[in-house]
Amino acid sequence: MQQPIRNPWNRLLMGSPLRRRPVAIGTIIVLALLLCFATLTLDAMIHAMRPEAAKVLGRSLLAASLFSLVPVLILWQLDRRERESPLLLTIAFLWGGLIATTLALPLNGAILAGIDRWVAANPFIKDLLGKDAALLLAAPVAGPLVEECTKGLGIVLLFWLLRAEYDNMRDGFLYGAMVGVGFNCLETPLYVAHGVEQFGAAPWELQLGARFALFGLSGHALFSGLFGASLGLARQTRRRWLQVWAPVLGLLLAIAAHVVNNLLPLIVTLVQVGQGEPPPGSEELPDTTLVQAWLMASAIHLVVFLPFFAVSSWMLWHSGRWERQVIREELAGEPADIVTPGEQAQIGQDAIFRTRRILGEDRRRCCALVNAQHELAFRKRRVRDAGGDPEADALVAGWREDIRSLRQDSPGHAA
């Protein structure tokens, strides 16, 4: 047996390409360049704004950060049986908020400029759709293709570089949704600041209410969560064809959901024009409160995204069943100092909305012990699926040592 792995960093990088020096150096260089690009892009954008818009951007960023705490806390509650590293969740959030957003800005701008030139060459389109014709046509193309790819790139990097922490669909949904929440956290202030230049006043209520509808879990969190879950499905399944096609279908599903979202303004405009009304203008800021905007957007999103919510709910439900099955099967043969007979009985009774607790332990130690047992189960299954021997795996041995140490430190442990 190899020497047990107990160092958190070694566990995080278990099986990771980052253990190879060229890959680690290359990754650091690429990330540094991306951060420089993000900084320069945001700096240029802020300097191009009017002073009042730049001030609003800072305040709205604080507001969006506070609003983002709600979906973050909800996602944290979804991750009950095997906690993901807070560091990785933070990285996912920052990728969405800094890298994905700033990579998408120039690409979206290029597509918008191209469609704007096409509209200028075909004036009847502007006559039909109004002064925002180019934006209405570009939104269903640029946003879904560009933004789902820039967000998805970060999810793929987590999947590839930190594979020891990416076990199943639930993990994937969590990482993907965190990327989406981060993206929304920066995109919302950008739209608020843009509203200052467009309307002369900041559309706080409209943007915050609409973009954090359904507690911030619709929109980007849902889109990226679908793709992340599809990568998790590829990780947890043993079917080769599903490992290949699940990520492709997941990305297409995320793009489709985004297209549906961005098509809504165009559909509304076409309906109004078809009824003989002039295309809606954008000269005046809509009169709405934060609660009204949130309720209206939540109701619309609940209906429009219902099929996508159904798919993501199925993924979470199925991954929960898979988790409980793996935990039961892989911990069944463990000795009593790893999983006691009483704990084995609790494992058999674990339910979808209930996580077991070990009697006689304080909450913090109980969570650590249960988490270590679940990490042990998932690691054993991962090694087994790869054709290896769990009993010869250093990380399996490390988790067992953690469990024994937690029991020895317990106040109720008999010396």
Same domain, 309 and 391: no
Asked whether the beta carbons of 208 and 288 are under 8 A apart, the reply is no
| Predicted confidence (pLDDT) at residue 248 exceeds the cutoff of 90 | yes
Determine, yes or no, domain membership for 25.
yes
Same domain, 313 and 343: no
Give the H or E element holding residue 115: helix 101-121
Which of 322, 342, 370 is the last residue before a domain boundary? 322
Which of 322, 355, 379 is the last residue before a domain boundary? 322
168-182, 286-300, 397-411: least confident range: 397-411
274-283, 294-303, 345-354: least confident range: 274-283
Separation CA 160–CA 242 (nearest Å): 17
Asked whether the beta carbons of 171 and 317 are under 8 A apart, the reply is no
Write down the pLDDT at residue 409: 64
Determine, yes or no, domain membership for 2.
no
**Which range in 68-72, 288-292, 393-397 is most confidently predicted, on average pLDDT?**
68-72
Determine, yes or no, domain membership for 1.
no
Mean pLDDT of 47-51: 87
Same domain, 140 and 194: yes
Which of 304, 322, 340 is the last residue before a domain boundary? 322
Percentage of the chain lying above the pLDDT 90 cut: 50
Same domain, 248 and 143: yes
CA 399 to chain centre: 27
Mean pLDDT of 283-291: 78
Percentage of the chain lying above the pLDDT 70 cut: 93
233-238 long-range contacts, CB within 8 A, separation 24+: 233/168, 233/169, 233/172, 233/315, 235/159, 235/163, 235/166, 235/167, 235/168, 235/171, 235/172, 236/167, 236/168, 236/169, 236/319, 236/322, 238/385
Same domain, 16 and 99: yes
Separation CA 186–CA 105 (nearest Å): 12
Same domain, 351 and 239: no
Mean pLDDT of 100-114: 94
Same domain, 291 and 367: no
| Predicted confidence (pLDDT) at residue 27 exceeds the cutoff of 90 | yes
Same domain, 388 and 350: yes
Mean pLDDT score across all residues of the chain: 88
Separation CA 300–CA 296 (nearest Å): 6
92-106, 253-267, 390-404: least confident range: 390-404
**Which residues constitute the domain of residue 381?**
332-408
Taking only the tens place, the pLDDT of each residue in 135-194 is 889 999 999 999 999 999 999 999 999 888 888 899 999 999 999 999 999 999 999 998
Write down the pLDDT at residue 346: 85
Same domain, 288 and 345: no
Write down the pLDDT at residue 155: 97
Write down the pLDDT at residue 411: 56
Determine, yes or no, domain membership for 124.
yes
For the chain, how many structural domains are there in total? 2
119-128, 231-240, 348-357: least confident range: 348-357
Same domain, 264 and 354: no
| Predicted confidence (pLDDT) at residue 412 exceeds the cutoff of 60 | no
Same domain, 344 and 284: no
Determine, yes or no, domain membership for 20.
yes
Determine, yes or no, domain membership for 3.
no
Determine, yes or no, domain membership for 18.
yes
Determine, yes or no, domain membership for 31.
yes
Same domain, 223 and 275: yes
Write down the pLDDT at residue 279: 67
How does residue 415 score in pLDDT terms, banded at 50, 70 and 90? very low
26-30, 146-150, 200-204, 272-276: least confident range: 272-276
5-14, 108-117, 374-383: least confident range: 5-14
